[in-house]
Amino acid sequence: MPQKKCRVELLAHTPEPLALIYAAFRQCYHAGDVADMWEDLLSGAISREKQAEFVEKVIASGHASPVEHVSFTFALSGVSRALTHQLVRHRIASYSQQSQRYVDASAMDYVVPPAIAADPRALARFEACMDGIGSAYRELKALLEAGGRGKNANEDARFVLPQAAATSIVVTMNCRSLLQFFEQRCCSRAQWEIRGAARSMLEHCRRVLPEIFRHAGAKCERLGYCPEGEKFTCGRYPLPGRN
């Protein structure tokens, strides 16, 4: 049962994302039909710089809903079930996750927390636990198959699998959901694994659409202060009203 590392790949995104956001914003303030300017947006007759300037200005005013027209789809692999349990709490999104009911976990891969990996005694105990769980899964699966469960044995044997079990998931979010996701999960107080995945996702988004994601990240980076309060602040930024 090998250890796994997080891998984040951008599978797809809405074509011409800046032009589409610009058109959506303009429709809110434009008396005509933005479909008539679409070719100018694609041809460059309305420059990318002009589109970006307009979009950034309107977003700064607090009008953000038009960015929802653009979405990004990611493939995350080598992540733990602990991560995906947090990920799916972001509800304005679509998820397609590897099933433990249909996928045989007899050779279960798993994720090791860095703090455990750095401590030889903790790592030895962790790996022994993973080996024991793998053995229990295979034994239960064999017993259930022998008892007549057949291919359905997986769905019951999986109950012993840990949160460390590695999984793969496809995630689609629109830009507004991604901005909120990055605010929560790029924060230094976020759990280490999902924080790493979020930062990788943000790098992909910045390459495609820097006009929207240039200043994305933890809330403190946008606000210039820490909104978490004295009890929870990491100290990177001052609390409100403090220098």
Hey, which residues are catalytic here? 185
User: Distance between CA atoms of 235 and 240, rounded to whole angstroms?
Assistant: 12
Amino acid at residue number 239: L
Residue 139 phi/psi, 5-degree rounding, is -65, -45
Three-state SS string over 169-203 comes to: EEEEEEHHHHHHHHHHHCCCCCCHHHHHHHHHHHH
Contact 86, 191 (CB under 8 A): yes
Q: For residue 94, what are the β-bridge partners?
A: 172
Angle at alpha carbon of residue 212, lines to 203 and 15, rounded to 5°: 85
Q: What Rg do the C-alpha atoms of the chain give, in angstroms?
A: 23
User: Distance between CA atoms of 206 and 213, rounded to whole angstroms?
Assistant: 5
CA distances from 28 to 63, 160, 213 (A): 10, 53, 22
Q: Whats the size of the chain, residue-wise?
A: 243
